[in-house]
Each structure stands twice: as structure tokens, then as C-alpha cells.
């Protein structure tokens, strides 16, 4: 009996690019939970550390400054994860301000 591998069911970008993007997304939400009420410089620095490093590493790969293979799909999924985390954070802020 012939069995299909998981690669034939799940798109390659989900297998290879999505995990890091989801890690970036979850990191940003985790930092916002820690500094929920606080909007300080420290909170901003911690919030943006991983997303900036993630995007910078991909740009560095494209310029051959960082070892690895540049992939535009990685850049797109990371950017989408950052945008989704910011949108989620904004929705929570709006709901909190309405509840107050």
C-alpha cells in the first residue's frame, strides 16, 4: 500500500516558514501580557527585540551577511505575524478601553 507523506498534504510554507512566524507572534503577545498596563521604553524594546532580529536575519541572509538561505516567504510570514500580533493587541486595547 502506498502512503503519502505529510509534505503532499501540508504546503511547504506552512512546514518551513510558519513555525518561526508563530514563534514571533507568540513572543510579541507574551511580552504584551507581561507589560499589559505599562507603556515604557523597556516594554517597547522587549516587544520589538525578536521581530527586529527575525527580519534583520532574513535581510542579512539576502545580503550574505548572515549564514543561511534567504526566503521571501519567511519575510512575508514574519511580517504577517508581526501585523497580526499588533492588530490583536489593538483589538484588546479597544475592548479594554470600552470596558472602563
> How do residues 3-56 score in pLDDT, each as one tens digit?
556 667 889 999 999 999 999 999 999 998 888 777 789 889 999 999 999 999
- Four-residue CA torsion sign, 76, 12, 30, 68: negative
Domains of the chain, by residue range, sit at 11-94
Distance, CA of 89 to CA of 25 (rounded, Å): 11
pTM of the entire structure? Answer: 0.84
Distance, CA of 100 to CA of 52 (rounded, Å): 33
Distance, CA of 82 to CA of 51 (rounded, Å): 7
The answer to whether residues 86 and 29 touch, using CB atoms and an 8 Å cutoff, is no
Amino acid at each position: 500500500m502506498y502512503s503519502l507523506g505529510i509534505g503532499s498534504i501540508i504546503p511547504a510554507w506552512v512546514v518551513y516558514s510558519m513555525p518561526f512566524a508563530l514563534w514571533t507572534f507568540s513572543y510579541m503577545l507574551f511580552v504584551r501580557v507581561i507589560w499589559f498596563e505599562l507603556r515604557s521604553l523597556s516594554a517597547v524594546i522587549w516587544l520589538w527585540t525578536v521581530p527586529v532580529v527575525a527580519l534583520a536575519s532574513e535581510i542579512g541572509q539576502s545580503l550574505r551577511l548572515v549564514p543561511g538561505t534567504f526566503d521571501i516567504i519567511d519575510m512575508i510570514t514574519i511580517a504577517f505575524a508581526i501585523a497580526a500580533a499588533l492588530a490583536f493587541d489593538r483589538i484588546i486595547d479597544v475592548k479594554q478601553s470600552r470596558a472602563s
